[in-house]
Amino acid sequence: MIYDIEYETMPREALEAIQFRRLKATIDRCYASVPFYRKNFEAAGITPGAIQSLQDLPKLPFTTKQDLRDNYPFGMFAVPMENVVRIHASSGTTGQPTVVGYTARDVDTWAGLMARSLMAGGATRGDIIHNAYGYGLFTGGLGAHYGAEKLGASVIPVSGGNTKRQVVIMKDFGPTILTATPSYALHLAEVADEMGVSFRDLKFKYGIFGAEPWSESMREEIEEKLGLVAVDIYGLSEVIGPGVAMECHEAKKGLHIFEDHFIPEIINPETGEVLPYGETGELVFTSITKEAFPVIRYRTRDITSLNPEPCICGRTMARMNKVSGRSDDMLIIRGVNVFPSQIESVLMEMKNVEPHYQLVVDREGQLDILTVMVEVSESMFSDEVKTLQGMEKEITKNIKDYLGVSAKVKLVEPKVIARSQGKAVRVIDNRKI
Partner 1 sequence: MKAEQISVFLENKAGRLCEVTQVLAEAQVNIRALALADTSDFGVLRLIVDDTEKAKDTLKKAGFTVGKTNVLAVEVPDRPGGLYDILNLLQSSGINVEYMYAFVQQSGSNAVMIFRFDNTDDALKVIQANGLRVIDGKTLYGM
Task: Enumerate binding residues for partner 1 (CB under 8 A).
Answer: 194, 376-378, 381-385, 388-389, 410-416
Question: Residue 198, Cα to own-chain centre: how many angstroms?
Answer: 28
Cβ closer to partner 1: 360 or 388? 388
Name which of 107 and 388 has its Cβ closer to partner 1: 388
Q: Which amino acid type is present at position 195?
A: M
Shortest distance in whole angstroms from residue 388 CB to partner 1: 7
- What's the closest the beta carbon of residue 196 comes to partner 1, in angstroms? 12
Contacts of 17 (CB under 8 A, 6+ apart): none
Residues forming beta bridges with residue 86, ordered by sequence position: 102
Nearest-Å Rg of the Cα atoms of the chain is 22
Q: Which is nearer to partner 1, 66 or 382 (CB)?
A: 382
Chain centre distance of CA 329: 13
- Residue 25 or 425: which CB sits closer to partner 1? 425
User: What gap in Å lies between CA 145 and CA 139, rounded to an integer?
Assistant: 10
Nearer to partner 1, 344 or 375 (CB): 375
Judged by phi (left if over 0) then psi (alpha if -120 to 50, else beta), residue 83 lies in alpha
Q: Give the nearest distance from C-beta 415 to partner 1 in angstroms.
A: 6
Euclidean distance between CA atoms 108 and 111, whole angstroms: 5
Q: What does the alpha-carbon distance between residue 366 and residue 305 come to, in Å, rounded to a whole number?
A: 35
At residue 345, the 3 state secondary structure works out as helix
Q: Which residue, 43 or 385, has its beta carbon nearer to partner 1?
A: 385
With contact defined as beta carbons under 8 Å apart, do 38 and 278 qualify?
Answer: no
Q: Considering beta carbons, is residue 174 or 390 the nearer one to partner 1?
A: 390
SS3 content of the chain, % helix, strand, coil (to 5): 35, 25, 40
Shortest gap between Cβ of 172 and partner 1 (angstroms)?
A: 23
Q: How far apart are CA 361 and CA 49, in angstroms?
A: 48
| Cβ at position 399, least distance to partner 1 in Å | 17
Cβ 344 to partner 1 shortest distance, Å: 20
Q: Report, in Å, the least distance between residue 354 CB and partner 1.
A: 10
